Chains A and B, each alone.
Chain A
């Protein structure tokens, strides 16, 4: 099935066969629906784990109860039935998104700023020449991104741009070419049926 689905997309791209093009278009739209149908997989997985914790009253079970409550609220208020006042225009749904999800989402990833700061003094040491190169280029990049430095030492802008456009570009180009070859190799292995790791599971 994987092979058929792959060839259905690849062949019409290179050969102008209208029937195959139409089939590929319909298949792609069908895949979008299939992907959307998987929406409850995450919900069920989360509910299975946390419902067990609530049932067994394990340590911190009340937090699991909180998770279940909010999953239920968002799923129920977000059901696509605008005729009944539900959906993405529902006031409760929007209120939770605006006043809970938005601040939480933004805050979760911003915490890494503190960990980076802590790492700057504890871990970022010039232990050998390679670490020293990372340290120097990293510090110059940090200075090049901050007006407090670039106003006083304008050449920092040129230095940071040089680091970005020369060694960084060389690194990323090499990685990109290698990754593209790897992706093609993986695709060919999948097409030949050698690579079937994505189908594993369910044995336990």
Chain B
């Protein structure tokens, strides 16, 4: 019985979201509201658990660490200064610390990870690969396309009107369009993969519960019937 309630609840909320495909309706609003409430509340649990666990770790080992923990907690409470105008200035302190630390951690290695390594890989790409015409053509294309895209982003304004830049611009735009097509193809794969996963759940395909199937049929029927019935009974008659 408990399992059945669980299955029917999960199916109800899944179909509640999908009901938006027919039109805006109360089933969708219920599911959306519950999702917002649960998602916001869930995050609190894991964060508070982390704070509690940290206290039992290094932060309670000595008087100095306990004092530091107290200071950190006071700084942490300053986040809530953002809710009133008179205390808003307090909110800027933890924000500055967090942003500064994040910038520092990223700044020290971003040059290597996302700049130098990419340039090294680009420079190491040989123009000519002996015995492999396909790889040679591909490498030449990469050596033309990457600088074109970079120049397209870096040089804007009147310099784009010069003849060489017009050629660079065309190559860059066509390269990017082909790249966006690739992104589109993968986006279709992702979104349908998510939908297929939910469909497997609704159909009760193992390891999902087989009882989901009955719940799917019944709840889908009830939701569709209620929406179509409402539309039918509230159809506006044309003015005479």
Contacts and interface: CB of A to CB of B under 8 A. Distances in A.
Interface of A: 1-10, 13-14, 26-44, 46, 48, 60, 63-64, 66-75, 77-80, 87-88, 93, 95-114, 116, 130-131, 133-142, 144-145, 160, 162-181, 183-184, 187, 190-191, 198-199, 201-202, 204
How many B residues are at the interface, by size bracket? Answer: 35 or more
A168 B179 contact: yes
A134 B177 contact: yes
A46 B154 CA distance: 42
Nearest to B92: A199
Contact of B104 (A9, A97, A133): A9
B50 A36 contact: yes
Interface in B165-181: 172-181
Interface string B3-36: 0001101110110011011000000011111111
Chief secondary structure at chain B's binding surface: helix
Given A46-B40, A137-B177, A171-B175, A187 B103 contact: yes
A45 B104 CA distance: 29
A198 B145 contact: no
B145 A99 contact: no
A66 B37 CA distance: 8
A113 B195 contact: yes
30 contacts: A5-B103, A10-B107, A33-B69, A34-B72, A36-B50, A37-B79, A37-B94, A46-B37, A78-B45, A80-B51, A80-B53, A99-B9, A101-B42, A110-B197, A130-B174, A134-B184, A137-B185, A138-B181, A141-B181, A168-B178, A168-B183, A171-B149, A173-B121, A174-B152, A180-B118, A183-B110, A184-B115, A190-B100, A190-B103, A201-B91
Contacts of B107: 6, 9-10, 183-184, 187
Contacts of A95: 6
Given A9-B104, A137-B177, A180-B110, A202 B17 contact: no
A108 to B, nearest CB: 6
Nearest to A141: B185
A74 B38 contact: yes
B108 interface: yes
A163 B183 CA distance: 10
B113 to A, nearest CB: 8
A37 B73 contact: yes
Contact of B185 (A1, A144, A181): A144
A77 to B, nearest CB: 8
A164 B69 CA distance: 49
Given A36-B76, A180-B115, A184-B111, 14 more contacts: A1-B100, A37-B75, A41-B82, A46-B37, A80-B45, A114-B195, A142-B184, A160-B182, A163-B182, A171-B176, A175-B153, A180-B110, A180-B111, A183-B107
A68 B141 CA distance: 56
B35 A33 contact: no
A58 B104 CA distance: 46
A34 B165 CA distance: 49
Contacts of B20: 111
B41 A43 contact: yes
A202 B194 contact: no
Q: Which of A69, A103, A111 has the largest number of chain B CB atoms within 10 A?
A: A103
B140 to A, nearest CB: 10
Contacts of A98: 6, 10
Contacts of B18: 107, 111
A27 to B, nearest CB: 7
B50 to A, nearest CB: 5
Contact of B10 (A4, A31, A103): A103
B121 to A, nearest CB: 8
Given A70-B38, A105-B35, A87 B187 contact: no
B57 to A, nearest CB: 9
Given A113-B192, A170-B146, A134 B34 contact: no
B115 to A, nearest CB: 4
